[in-house]
């Protein structure tokens, strides 16, 4: 079994400062661990699970973990990794997303041992005087030195003044919570350091920072993101998530072994050597990876069912075992192919549908759909295949 410090450090991209945090962890003191997420969409995905998993490590070691819902900062929109200003969310959208977040977070964290806080508790109450004092803690040059803003200025892309305030708002959260440690993805480093800086300005002991590596999405290129259509949602059905995991490239499979399952570099190299030597087939290992991911983030029983269904549908071609979908009685027939894919929850946007169709990745009853404007006549038993490993059997 890993010792406390080994478990905390395992899989981290960066720890700032490492010696300081190690002393705190080994001192036996109960630390206040902060992880903040803005409810900008209703779904969390496996990329989020990596950071939540690290928070679970702290939870299991007896530390106080605080899941901070950024209901105030969601109104601004985190500019991290953004090439343009985020669209503003309504209060209703934020409230809806918050509810789904809390349910999904409970799949990874122990709900009985997590404190839920909302940054509107203190940010809504900041007076004009205190807001000006907060802004006075940082210089404009410090804020715009971050890569996101620098790139946008070079390309003459507008930056909203409210976006400049985001790092200060997130940093002030750490002051309000008196956090000892803050977690986040590597794209959050600037914001996390701002929290450490502001704590010093307010006379507090500065928090340590742990950044977790970003998970590459199903496309094998960009980080996992719902908006890019390359994500696996934590709330998705296990069989659908299993199929998506099986659809990734062999090369990306090793990344998932490391990031999602915490295999060491040596363990991954051993598996790769087995493939090279011909003693293990990539398909078998990918199925192992998919099974272990579903078992870890869903349940072992759901992993068993998802694997059995995958083998029946994709290896034995028994489409009677495909994911059954009952369409509402009022569903058009024929129906626009994009509306059909949306009804199946196979896509979120029309642009995602166009990409799949252009790639020849949509097959209905054995025929590849080539026309984005196609009208599909469907019946009970129509089989729709989306990508390599998602198959739906329609039912009226």
Domains identified in the chain and CATH numbers: 4-225 (3.40.50.620), 236-318 (1.10.240), 322-396 (3.10.290.10)
Cα 305 to Cα 257, 275, 318: the distances in Å are 21, 27, 15
The per-residue pLDDT for 228 is 78
The confidence band for 88, taking pLDDT boundaries of 50, 70 and 90, is low
Q: What would the pLDDT profile of 126-185 be if each residue is shown by its tens digit?
A: 999 998 999 889 888 888 877 777 888 888 888 888 788 888 999 999 999 999 999 999
The per-residue pLDDT for 320 is 67
Q: How far apart are CA 168 and CA 5, in angstroms?
A: 30
376-240-305-366 Cα dihedral, nearest 10 degrees: 30
The confidence band for 340, taking pLDDT boundaries of 50, 70 and 90, is very high
The per-residue pLDDT for 328 is 83
Q: Is the pLDDT of residue 314 over 90?
A: no
The confidence band for 83, taking pLDDT boundaries of 50, 70 and 90, is very low
Q: What 3-state class would DSSP assign to 385?
A: strand
- The mean-pLDDT minimum among 45-54, 190-199, 316-325, 383-392 falls in 316-325
- Cis amide linkage into residue 17, ω under 30° from 0: yes
Q: What 3-state class would DSSP assign to 324?
A: strand
For residues 69 and 95, is the Cβ–Cβ distance under 8 A? no
Q: Is the pLDDT of residue 81 over 80?
A: no
Q: How far apart are CA 79 and CA 73, in angstroms?
A: 11
Q: What would the pLDDT profile of 237-251 be if each residue is shown by its tens digit?
A: 898 899 899 989 999
Q: What would the pLDDT profile of 208-264 be if each residue is shown by its tens digit?
A: 999 999 999 998 999 998 777 789 999 888 988 998 999 899 999 999 999 999 999
Q: Is the pLDDT of residue 389 over 90?
A: no
Q: How far apart are CA 176 and CA 262, in angstroms?
A: 33
Q: Is the pLDDT of residue 349 over 60?
A: yes
- The mean-pLDDT minimum among 82-86, 177-181, 191-195, 215-219 falls in 82-86
The confidence band for 396, taking pLDDT boundaries of 50, 70 and 90, is low
For residues 383 and 391, is the Cβ–Cβ distance under 8 A? yes
Cα 187 to Cα 46, 50, 193, 234, 313: the distances in Å are 16, 14, 12, 21, 39
Across 117-134, average pLDDT: 92
DSSP 311: I
Q: Which residues sit opposite 385 in a β-bridge?
A: 363, 391
Q: How far apart are CA 45 and CA 188, in angstroms?
A: 17
């Amino acid at each position: 079994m890993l010792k406390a410090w080994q478990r905390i450090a395992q899989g981290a991209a960066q720890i700032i400062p490492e010696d300081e945090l190690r002393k705190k962890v080994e001192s036996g003191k109960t630390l206040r661990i902060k992880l903040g997420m803005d409810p900008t969409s209703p779904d969390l995905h496996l990329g989020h699970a990596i950071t939540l998993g690290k928070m679970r490590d702290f939870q299991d070691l007896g530390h106080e973990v605080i899941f901070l819902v950024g209901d105030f900062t969601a109104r601004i929109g985190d500019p991290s990794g953004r090439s343009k200003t985020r669209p503003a969310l309504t209060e209703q959208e934020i409230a809806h997303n918050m509810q789904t977040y809390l349910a999904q977070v409970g799949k990874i964290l122990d709900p009985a041992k997590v404190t839920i806080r909302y940054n509107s508790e203190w940010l809504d109450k900041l007076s004009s005087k205190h807001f000006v004092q907060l802004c006075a803690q940082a210089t404009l040059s410090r804020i715009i030195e971050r890569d996101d803003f620098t790139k946008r200025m070079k390309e003459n892309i507008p930056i909203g003044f409210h976006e400049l305030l985001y790092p200060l708002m997130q940093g002030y959260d750490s002051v309000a919570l008196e956090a000892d440690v803050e977690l986040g993805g590597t794209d959050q480093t600037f914001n996390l350091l701002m929290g450490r800086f502001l704590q010093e300005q307010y006379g507090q002991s500065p928090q340590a920072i742990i950044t977790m590596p970003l998970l590459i999405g199903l496309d094998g290129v960009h980080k996992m993101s719902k908006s890019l259509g390359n994500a696996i949602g934590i709330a998705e059905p296990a069989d659908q998530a299993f199929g998506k995991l099986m659809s990734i490239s062999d090369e990306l499979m090793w990344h998932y072994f490391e990031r999602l399952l915490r295999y060491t570099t040596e363990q991954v190299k051993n598996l790769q050597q087995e493939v090279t030597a011909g003693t293990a087939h990539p398909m078998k290992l990918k199925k192992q990876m998919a099974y272990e991911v579903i078992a870890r983030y869903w349940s072992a029983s759901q992993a068993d069912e998802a694997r059995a269904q995958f083998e029946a549908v994709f290896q034995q071609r028994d489409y009677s075992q495909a994911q059954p979908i009952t369409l509402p009685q009022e569903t058009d027939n024929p129906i626009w192919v994009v509306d059909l894919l949306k009804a199946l929850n196979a896509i979120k946007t029309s642009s995602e549908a166009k990409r799949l169709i252009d790639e020849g990745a949509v097959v209905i009853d054995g025929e590849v759909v080539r026309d984005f404007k196609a009208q599909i006549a469907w019946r009970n038993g129509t089989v729709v295949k989306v990508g390599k490993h998602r198959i739906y059997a329609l039912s009226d």
